Amino acid sequence: MSSFKQSVDREFTKAVKYDFRYRVFGRDDLLPMWVADMDLPAPKALQEAIIERAKHNLYGYTTYDHHTLNAIKQWIEKRHQYAIDTNLISFSPGVIPSLHALVQSFTEEDDQIVIQPPVYPPFFSVIKNHNRTVVENPLVQKNHRYEINFEQLEQQFKNGAKAFILCSPHNPVGRVWTIGELNRIAELCIKYKVLLFSDEIHSDIIFRPNKHTPIASLNEEISQLTFTLMAPSKTFNVAGLQGSYVINPNQEAKKQFEKQLGNQGLGILNTFAYTAIEATYQYGEKWLEKLITQLEENRDILIKSLNNSDTQIKPITPEGTYLIWLDFSETSYTHKEIVDKLKDEAKVGLNDGVTFGKDTGRLFMRINIACPPSIVEEGVKRIIETFER
């Protein structure tokens, strides 16, 4: 089994996280702890399955079969205790392409779509780029933990919101929504007939004792309003293979969604994406358990080091995902000073908080801890030295 302790050289492998550093940060000598992929090798069984498929030496148009569907069904049943109907699955190269297609298929120009910043930046553009209206229901921070403002959410639904894009678990604040919270969301969606696009791409990376619940699994009524978006990409570090899927609420919706995907030329995946879905879901579970243990160790390194420092940087403890939201609001610096100090003094590449929400992300940054623990230690050491200065 792969070791998560050793660092792997990814420079000049066309990895966005490394080879785009100059373009994004204006320098290429910083420790990249930004883009949400892992500096950790994928499961060996996946590599072997890809090599095996590559040996066939024919790479024509490829589709899925019952092996692909069953691999997904069994994975979701085992990991999330959710029995899905494989007839409702659609495939798409990515969760973001699917969100674009969902917005185009099921909402109309000027429709209001609710999102909860700070949130994954493309959530804004999948709404704006199709001339729909972004309605923000910012998450509320209470004792260094984020919660949903349900009163405002209900008001926004009452005011006519057409759809809600839920990030579950939530990138960047690391919340794994509880059954209680999900039930409240579901009740509101049902009451006001709001469509739910539930981005569950991070649902397999959950820290103990938290548990992910697919919101569509709560009851039949909410499943009829929900499109669940999942993928092995974050879980097994296979984002570059571009394979994801959507569990549609019913056949009619599936047909409409697939028509839109087809119109955009997104109706078919690359050959290796199907191999990735099958191999990771069939053979990757032990690897994933080991990964989660490593990520928990990395999380603890980062949180303890920052909490024991004099930097006044407050990490938000994640319940899932390998991304940690860092609160700089108690330091004495402006947002620009924070961004510049991290880049030019600490020389670590983090995601700028304001890209997740102009107001909610000011004085915040996001760090990616999916790397060997020695790299987390090095990154945190650089940050602490810079901000204690």
Ligand X SMILES: Cc1ncc(COP(=O)(O)O)c(C=O)c1O
* Chain positions contacting ligand X, by CB under 6 A: 36, 94-96, 120, 167, 171, 199, 201, 231, 233, 239, 244
CB 167 → ligand X: shortest distance, Å? 5
CB 67 → ligand X: shortest distance, Å? 22
Q: By C-beta, is 231 or 326 nearer to ligand X?
A: 231
The residue count for the chain = 389
Q: By C-beta, is 101 or 195 nearer to ligand X?
A: 101
Q: By C-beta, is 120 or 328 nearer to ligand X?
A: 120
How far, in Å, CA of 78 to CA of 346, rounded? Answer: 42
C-beta neighbour count of 186 within 10 angstroms: 21
CB 331 → ligand X: shortest distance, Å? 26
CB 244 → ligand X: shortest distance, Å? 5
How far, in Å, CA of 365 to CA of 348, rounded? Answer: 11
Q: By C-beta, is 311 or 321 nearer to ligand X?
A: 321
How does DSSP classify residue 355? G
Q: By C-beta, is 120 or 272 nearer to ligand X?
A: 120
Q: By C-beta, is 320 or 384 nearer to ligand X?
A: 320
* DSSP annotation string for 277-333: HHHHHHH-HHHHHHHHHHHHHHHHHHHHHHHTSSS--EEEPPSBSSEEEEE-TTSS-
Q: Contact 212/168 with Cβ under 8 angstroms? A: yes
CB 387 → ligand X: shortest distance, Å? 26
Calculate the CA 152 to chain-centre distance. Answer: 24
CB 197 → ligand X: shortest distance, Å? 11
Burial 53-64 (b: 16+ CB within 10 A, else e): beeeeeeeebeb
Q: Contact 113/163 with Cβ under 8 angstroms? A: yes
Q: By C-beta, is 199 or 278 nearer to ligand X?
A: 199
User: Backbone phi, then psi, for 53, in 5-degree steps?
Assistant: -65, -40
* DSSP annotation string for 309-320: SSS--EEEPPSB
Structure tokens at 91: 């495939």
Structure tokens at 36: 């949400």
CB 269 → ligand X: shortest distance, Å? 11
